[in-house]
């Protein structure tokens, strides 16, 4: 039986992006090459977010007594060619800005720390 993480494999991601491209084919045909590349990149990010949420839902996260599901953060690292890496992050529930502070769950706080560490490492490499 496939695991929820299997949703983020190449084939499901490609299928999701292809479905979005087909759904938006009329607009895609009118775009320049640069716009088309931007759209495909954006749809890929959307697919990662949606499939990450679907995988988490299949993972059977339990709700608490108040009906709240546990917070989650999904970080996906993909090879982008050469030494480059593309980083995708999605959060549920969405991060909430409280005017200078961000309301997060423990899982989201840990993910944000990892993303900061990744960003710092990337800056050191430049």
Which residue, of 60, 85, 107, is where some domain finishes?
A: 60
Say what percent of the chain tops pLDDT 90. 21
Which pLDDT belongs to residue 104?
A: 87
Question: Which domain does 110 fall in, by range?
Answer: 72-126
Residue environment code for 62-98, b if the CB has 16+ CB neighbours within 10 A, otherwise e:
eeeeeeeeebbbbbbeeeeeeeeeeebbbbbeebeee
The pLDDT tens digits of the residues spanning 39-87 come to: 998 898 888 888 877 877 776 556 666 666 678 888 888 888 888 888 8
Average pLDDT over the chain reads 83
pLDDT at 10 over 90: no
Pairwise CA distance, residues 8 & 90, whole Å: 13
Domain count within the chain:
2
In this prediction, residue 100 has a pLDDT band, given cuts at 50, 70 and 90, of: confident
The pLDDT tens digits of the residues spanning 39-49 come to: 998 898 888 88
- Residue 43 belongs to some domain of the structure: yes
Average pLDDT rounded to a whole number, residues 2-24: 86
- Residue 112 belongs to some domain of the structure: yes
pLDDT top residue among 2 and 93 = 93
pTM: 0.59
Pairwise CA distance, residues 58 & 44, whole Å: 21
Handedness of CA 12, 15, 20, 23 (dihedral sign): negative
Nearest to 92 by CA among 53, 66, 65: 53
Average pLDDT rounded to a whole number, residues 94-120: 87
The reply to whether 77 and 126 lie within a common domain is yes
């Amino acid at each position: 039986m496939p695991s929820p993480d299997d949703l983020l494999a190449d084939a499901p991601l490609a299928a999701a992006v292809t479905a979005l491209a087909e759904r938006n084919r009329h607009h895609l045909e009118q775009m320049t090459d640069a716009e088309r590349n931007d759209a495909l990149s954006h749809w890929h990010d959307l697919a990662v977010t949606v499939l990450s949420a679907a995988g988490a839902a299949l993972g059977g996260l339990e709700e608490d007594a108040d009906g709240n599901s546990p917070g989650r953060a999904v970080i996906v690292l993909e090879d982008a060619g050469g030494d480059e890496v593309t980083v995708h992050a999605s959060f549920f529930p969405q991060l909430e800005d409280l005017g200078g502070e961000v309301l997060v769950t423990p899982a989201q706080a840990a993910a944000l720390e990892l993303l900061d560490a990744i960003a710092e490492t990337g800056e050191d490499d430049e």
